[in-house]
Amino acid sequence: MRRIALHTRLKPGREHEYDDVHATIPAELAAAIRAAGVHGWWIWRDGLDLFHLVEVEDYRRMRDELRDHPANVAWQARMAALLDVTDDYSGTDSGLALVWALPTAADRAPS
């Protein structure tokens, strides 16, 4: 299992619309995301900046599987109207670089 951090940015003035759209994720999209190996996905917003944490079995495989999925294609088209950057959904990125972490109890080896 990997944790992938991502950063995206909203177009100015689209904050409330983005929040409203995310109040209910389409069931078909949620099912496709889970089937692609995602165990959890969290998004935090600070003004226009969005920070995602994705717990996924294989990030590139997930991107490959979702790229042409009809539910994801429709969702990405909707997000393109709200986001400041264009994402070709290539899956060639590897997320944000981890600088530091305080390990959880599960991450620490027994002494």
Q: Judge whether 89 lies within some domain.
A: no
Q: Average pLDDT of 19-40?
A: 97
Q: Judge whether 21 lies within some domain.
A: yes
Residues 6+ apart with CB under 8 A from 27: none
CATH label of the domain that carries residue 72: 3.30.70.100
The reported pLDDT for the residue numbered 111 is 58
Q: Average pLDDT of 33-49?
A: 97
Among 75, 61, 48, 80, which residue's Cα sits nearest to residue 4? Answer: 61
Q: Judge whether 105 lies within some domain.
A: no
Q: Judge whether 60 lies within some domain.
A: yes
Cβ(76)–Cβ(8) below 8 Å: no
Dist. CA 13–CA 54, nearest whole Å: 26
Q: Judge whether 92 lies within some domain.
A: no
Band of pLDDT at residue 88, cut at 50, 70 and 90: low
Q: Judge whether 99 lies within some domain.
A: no
**Tens-digit pLDDT profile for residues 47-71:** 999 999 999 999 999 999 999 999 9
The tokens for 22 are: 């995310």
**Tens-digit pLDDT profile for residues 93-102:** 788 999 999 9
Dist. CA 88–CA 57, nearest whole Å: 21
What total of structural domains would you count in the chain? Answer: 1
Q: Judge whether 111 lies within some domain.
A: no
Q: Judge whether 103 lies within some domain.
A: no
Q: Average pLDDT of 2-21?
A: 96
The domain in which residue 63 lies consists of 2-80
